[in-house]
Amino acid sequence: MTDTTGDSPDGTSAVQAGPARGQGRSGRLVRAVTAAALAPVAAAALAAPAVAAPGSATGGATGGKGLRWEACAGVSSPDLRCARVTVPLDHRRPRGRTISVVVSRLPATDPARRRGVLLTTGGGPGGPGVPLPVSLAPALSAEVRARYDLVGFDMRFVERSTPIGCGQPGEEPGGFWVRPAAPGRFPAEAAEARRYAEDCVRASGWALPHATTANAARDMDLVRAALGEEKISYLGGSYAGLLGTVYGRLFPHRVDRFVLDSPVNADTIWRPYEMGRTPAFEEGTVALAAWAAGRHSEYGLGETTAQVHATLTGILDRATRAPIVIGGHGWTVGELGALLVAGIYDERAFGVVAAVFAAVAAGREPSLPFPVRPPRPEGVPGVPAGHYTATNIAYRCADAPWPRDPRVYLRDIASQRDRHPLFGPVNANINPCAFWPRAKDGPVRLDGTRAPAALVVAALRDVAVPPSVSRAVAARIHGSRLVTIDAHTHAPFPHHGNACLNATVTRYLTTGELPATDTAC
């Protein structure tokens, strides 16, 4: 998502990460590492055509169900085509100002067996969805590809869909605004959070009250209408799973087959969710330390779990006091914390993260296969600097109320420092949401939902969205089924490659039949 969406150093600590944004293996890993996979938009695009009715489409050559499809900006695949759907900025005022949402499509491979569309978008919140059909297609079964057009979309204010920024020169590490919560730093961090919120209001204040998951779900329904579909099927991982649950709550009669992969729980976003997963972050760090201890001869971080844990936290302590300068770059605690989170999100990243910390410990320049700070997307015009941080914090701040009293954060930091010294203080720390403008929307809760049953997916050692969260989502959506795998990963369908899991999801998407009971793969 959802985190997200969605997704921390404290003086001894690492960086909090939002839910991973990408769906593919490389996209998910980069998002986890840099967290859960970045020039203001032209005035004409911001204003959008005043004559266009909500739900209408604009774009290049005409094709499909009345939509006008063209090449997708920033995507090299010629098979993926994009269209622009006009939606209201404020859904309560459908004839007011409009913005645009860009959708992409890979057609079903067998028109004779086509059932409809399988919609998807990125996690985060703030991850792009337009490119996802290209990475999903080869990982899905031939039966699923035969039956569904794969349709991706960038949520409002994300990348191609009227992007926003907060007037910053660059991204935060991982695209998530977090601060160390080191002793004595609270006043300065609170002041910095206030300044960031004020900068966001100056740069994008017109958009911020409308950057909510509920509004993104309402946009989804206008996308459905523009595609000419009575119902939609959906595949959403992490924060995008949260978006799917909100859509089902608002538009239950438009739901066909929904797969919610490691979904964030709408009933707990965002501060309760962030603080509630802190124990999982701590446990994930212990798992990474144990793995590295078994490979001391390779990484030299320590021969026991405790020794590796002390090495990691020692490096972060040092970076909290001052950036660690190696090869001309000063590694900040935010950057190193974001890298540590890679290991606790997905065990397939353990080796990469261990190698980075081993290099820093030895004073060598680390070698990274991905950027720590999200780069601007190539070939997508109009995306402001600092865009991914801005969109992530905008959704998290507007989705649900945050404490306005700084004393609440101080109290929670002190409490968490005793119980969870590594991640607790930073997950409890103040952020720009304490100073954010009020949203013109309200949270959409799942309690008492009448949404149709869904298939919910979870990994039992997921740190980003602990399995208890996914279980709660399945329980709240009556009749849903949960399928789990015993793995230390996040949003595992379909790229983790578990045959049982993939077969279970494929069977549901192709037949519409949920498992008779919850399934452990």
Smallest CA-to-CA distance from 287 within 487, 427, 491 is with: 487
State yes or no: is 253 an active-site residue.
no
State yes or no: is 91 an active-site residue: no
Considering 210, 387, 420, 490, which one is annotated as catalytic? 490
Q: What ranges in 66-185 are assigned the alpha helix state H?
A: 132-136, 142-147
User: Which of these is catalytic: 13, 104, 238, 470?
Assistant: 238
Of the residues 462, 470, 480, 488, only one is catalytic, namely: 462
Radius of gyration of the chain (CA): 22
Exposed / middle / buried, residue 504 (Cβ in 10 Å: 0-12, 13-18, 19+): buried
Spatial CB neighbours of 507, under 8 Å, sequence gap ≥ 6: 513
Structure tokens at 442: 């309200």
Q: Which amino acid is residue 135, in one-letter code? A: S
Active site residue 415: no
Q: Strand locations in 218-297, DSSP E?
A: 232-237, 255-261
Please, is 448 exposed, middle or buried when counting C-beta atoms within 10 Å of its C-beta (0-12, 13-18, 19+)? exposed
Dig out the tokens for 1 from the structure: 């998502």
Do 131 and 98 form a contact (C-beta atoms < 8 A)?
no
Quick one: CA dihedral 26, 373, 35, 168, positive or negative?
A: negative
For residue 259, give the 3-state DSSP assignment. Answer: strand
Per-residue burial over 282-320, b if 16 or more Cβ lie within 10 Å, else e, is bebbebbbebbbeeeeebbbbeebeebbbbbbebbbbbb
Would you please indicate which residues are annotated as catalytic (active-site) residues?
238, 462, 490
